[in-house]
């Protein structure tokens, strides 16, 4: 059950790893097809800027991998931290007083391997030590600096608004895992109806299909109820150090 909360910092934290997606490199956009940003929600939700997809390009060409957006007027360099077998030099591309943190990369779909994801996170963590960041999704690649500047120009107001609201704050993702078998055992001990139905299934000699269906529905309802209770407890514990939060739908794990 992943939870996400924007926290007041006590010390530098980890940048949230966004879902692994790929933005297809785009040619310089015409004003009518400029990248747009969603309206900032009441919970300081980051806008997701849509970039028009350009034509497919040769995988051998070089592009620009974007890690995050910051506020900065001066050119910055963060050293060899980026993606690649030999970590690429990380630097900024600017429009007015905001900048994208980028490194050179081949125009390919970046696989979300452990090495690549850690490199993406490493850059964000390094930058956020001194800057407020808007993390970009893993695998965001543009063809040229001009394409990036067009994104920054088109979405300037949205980026600027989020940077102001996120100033001196960090965004964290919290994932809570439980042992399903252990939880089910606790539920069976606490719920008399579930315990009785399980005993009936075990002792019944004929078909138990309908009994097992009913048992499954009761278990699912009990798991959902317990899940919601845990979510409420976690939010209560984080409320004093958070300015905004949200709960995402549970993701099944193997």
Would 253 be classed as within a structural domain?
Answer: no
CA atoms within 13 A on the CB side of 33: 10
Residue 140 and residue 223 share a domain: no
Give the DSSP per-residue string, 70-81. EE-SS--EEEE-
Q: What percent of the chain has pLDDT above 90?
A: 48
Would 127 be classed as within a structural domain?
Answer: yes
Q: What pLDDT score was predicted for residue 160?
A: 96
Counted domains in the chain: 2
**Range ranked top by mean pLDDT from 47-51, 79-83, 168-172:** 79-83
Would 138 be classed as within a structural domain?
Answer: yes
Q: What pLDDT score was predicted for residue 66?
A: 97
Would 56 be classed as within a structural domain?
Answer: yes
Q: What pLDDT score was predicted for residue 251?
A: 63
Q: What percent of the chain has pLDDT above 70?
A: 74
Would 1 be classed as within a structural domain?
Answer: no
Residue 228 and residue 165 share a domain: no
Residue 144 and residue 55 share a domain: yes
Q: Is the dihedral of CA 243, 250, 51, 83 positive or negative?
A: positive
Residue 232 and residue 149 share a domain: no
Residue 75 and residue 21 share a domain: yes
Residue 213 and residue 196 share a domain: yes
Residue 24 has pLDDT above 60, yes or no: no
Would 254 be classed as within a structural domain?
Answer: no
Residue 127 and residue 230 share a domain: no
Q: What is the distance between the alpha carbons of residues 139 and 124, in angstroms, rounded to a whole number?
A: 14
Boundary-marking domain end, from 115, 148, 173: 173
Range of the domain at 183: 176-247
Would 252 be classed as within a structural domain?
Answer: no
Residue 1 has pLDDT above 70, yes or no: no
Residue 131 and residue 66 share a domain: yes
Boundary-marking domain end, from 155, 173, 191: 173
Burial 13-33 (b: 16+ CB within 10 A, else e): eebbbbeeeebbbbbebeeee
Q: What pLDDT score was predicted for residue 175?
A: 85
Q: What pLDDT score was predicted for residue 33?
A: 41
Q: What pLDDT score was predicted for residue 253?
A: 53
Looking at residue 200, the DSSP 8-state letter turns out to be H
Question: Model's pTM, two decimal places?
Answer: 0.57
Residue 149 and residue 201 share a domain: no
Q: What is the distance between the alpha carbons of residues 219 and 139, in angstroms, rounded to a whole number?
A: 39
Residue 67 has pLDDT above 50, yes or no: yes
Q: What is the distance between the alpha carbons of residues 193 and 217, in angstroms, rounded to a whole number?
A: 12
Residue 59 has pLDDT above 70, yes or no: no
At 208, is the pLDDT very low, low, confident or very high (cuts 50, 70, 90)?
confident
Residue 92 and residue 159 share a domain: yes
Residue 149 has pLDDT above 90, yes or no: yes
Boundary-marking domain end, from 151, 173, 195: 173
Residue 145 and residue 100 share a domain: yes
Q: What pLDDT score was predicted for residue 126?
A: 96
Residue 157 and residue 69 share a domain: yes
Residue 156 has pLDDT above 90, yes or no: yes
Would 116 be classed as within a structural domain?
Answer: yes
């Amino acid at each position: 059950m992943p939870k996400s909360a924007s926290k007041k910092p006590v010390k530098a934290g980890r940048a949230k790893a966004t879902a692994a997606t790929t933005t297809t490199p785009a040619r310089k956009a015409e004003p009518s097809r400029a990248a747009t940003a969603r309206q900032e929600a009441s919970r300081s939700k980051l806008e997701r800027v849509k970039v028009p997809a350009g034509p497919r390009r040769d995988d051998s060409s070089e592009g620009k991998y974007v890690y995050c957006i910051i506020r900065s007027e001066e050119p910055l360099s963060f050293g060899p931290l980026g993606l690649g077998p030999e970590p690429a030099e990380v630097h900024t591309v600017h429009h007015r007083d905001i900048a994208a943190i980028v490194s050179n990369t081949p125009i390919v779909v970046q696989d979300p391997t452990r090495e690549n994801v850690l490199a993406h996170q490493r850059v964000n963590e390094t930058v956020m030590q001194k800057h407020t960041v808007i993390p970009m999704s893993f695998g965001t690649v543009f063809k040229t600096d001009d394409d990036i500047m067009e994104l920054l120009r088109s979405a300037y107001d949205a980026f600027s608004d989020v940077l102001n609201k996120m100033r001196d704050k960090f965004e964290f993702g919290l994932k809570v895992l439980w042992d399903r078998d252990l939880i089910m055992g606790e539920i069976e001990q606490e719920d008399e109806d579930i315990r009785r139905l399980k005993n009936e299934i075990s002792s019944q000699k004929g078909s138990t299909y309908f009994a097992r269906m009913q048992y499954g529905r009761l278990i699912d309802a009990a798991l959902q109820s317990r899940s919601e209770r845990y979510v409420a407890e976690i939010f209560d514990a984080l409320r004093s150090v958070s300015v905004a939060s949200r709960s995402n739908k549970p993701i099944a794990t193997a």
